[in-house]
Each structure stands twice: as structure tokens, then as C-alpha cells.
Amino acid sequence: MTEPRVSGRMARSFLRYLRERVGEAAFDAVMRSHPAIGEPAAGDWIAISTWQPLIEDFERRFGDPATLRLVREMTRSTMAVAISKGWSAFLSGATPDSLLQQSGRFWSMSYDAGKLVVAARGPKRVLFAVEDWPSPPAFVVASVAEAIAVFLARLGEREPRAVDRVTGGRAEIELTW
């Protein structure tokens, strides 16, 4: 397996959020510690081994590593902006079922390794699993969980709740609404 990568488009959105959230001086200070990141272009892909230390550094300085609070907050905010700018037309006729059918496509827009699959379904409950990427970083799983919840909230579902975990090398996201 080649090293997993994150899309430059997502990285740019996250970095834009972090700059606004922590302020220019604090943002620049953290970025100086991670010169390999630079300013990614939308079409770039960044190795997880390069991206992860940066995200963990921001989380350690401005969030809560135990809960990944900053990653979750950043994902909710950037997804809300993305939905309002580019996804609103696509989501106008969407249903939870149609989104579930597209989960693999959404995953591949952000990560070039593994795939997000529906492992189990029930009434107003879905269990997603990440396949073909053993033990993805917790921040990846937390971010995907938050993104899924934002999509469902945008569809008008009340109080979507995503619980993410990585156990025994398998990443899962349980979504209820």
C-alpha cells in the first residue's frame, strides 16, 4: 500500500479555518514548525505523514487531543461552508439513502487510500467502516464522522450523532439520527 494522502482542497479549507480561528501570528508560528506543508494547491495531495503532525500540533496547542475538539470544530465549520457554496445544488434533492450510496465517492474526494463503506444499516442508523486502510489516524476518522453528521443536518435530520472509533485496526463510524 502506498502512503495515504489527503486532498489539497481539503487541506486548504482546513488551513484557512485554522488561520481565522487561531489568528495570523499563532498560525504562522505553527506553520513555521511544519515547512513541508506550504500552501497546497487544490489539486495537490499531501502525505498523511506530513499532514498528521501539523494537525496534531494545532490540536495540542489550541484544542483537546483527547477529544479532537479542534478537528471536529474545524470539520463542521469547513463542511458547512462547502455545503453552502458548492454542495447546495447537489443536496437539494438528496436523501439520507442517496448520500449513503455516495459515501465512497465523498471519501475519495478527501483521501486517496482506503474506502468508506456501509457495514450495517438499521432504521435511522448506519455503521460505516474504513476498509483497505488499516488503523487510519484518529483525526481522519473524527473528521469524517463530523462531515457525515453535517451532511445529514443539512438534509434536515434532527440531531445527527456520529460516534467514531478505531479498534483492532478497524475504523468505524456509527451514525444515528
Q: What is the CATH number of the domain that holds 106?
A: 3.30.1380.20
Give the tens place of pLDDT for each residue, 22-64.
999 999 999 999 999 988 887 899 999 999 999 999 999 999 9
CB 163 within 8 A of CB 128: no
Give the pLDDT band of residue 94 (cuts 50, 70, 90). Answer: confident
Question: Residue 109 domain-assigned?
Answer: yes
Q: Quote the number of domains for the chain.
A: 1
Quote the domain boundaries for residue 118. 93-176
pLDDT of residue 39: 84
Give the pLDDT band of residue 88 (cuts 50, 70, 90). Answer: low
pLDDT of residue 87: 61
CB 75 within 8 A of CB 147: yes
Rounded CA gap, 21 and 13, in Å? Answer: 12
For the cut 70, the answer to whether the pLDDT of residue 106 exceeds it is yes
Question: Residue 27 domain-assigned?
Answer: no
Span 144-150, average pLDDT: 93
Question: Residue 147 domain-assigned?
Answer: yes
Question: Residue 115 domain-assigned?
Answer: yes
More confident residue, 52 or 159: 52
pLDDT of residue 96: 78
Question: Residue 38 domain-assigned?
Answer: no
b/e map 146-177, b = 16+ CB within 10 Å: bbbbbbbbbeebeebebebebeeeebbbbbbb
CB 68 within 8 A of CB 62: no
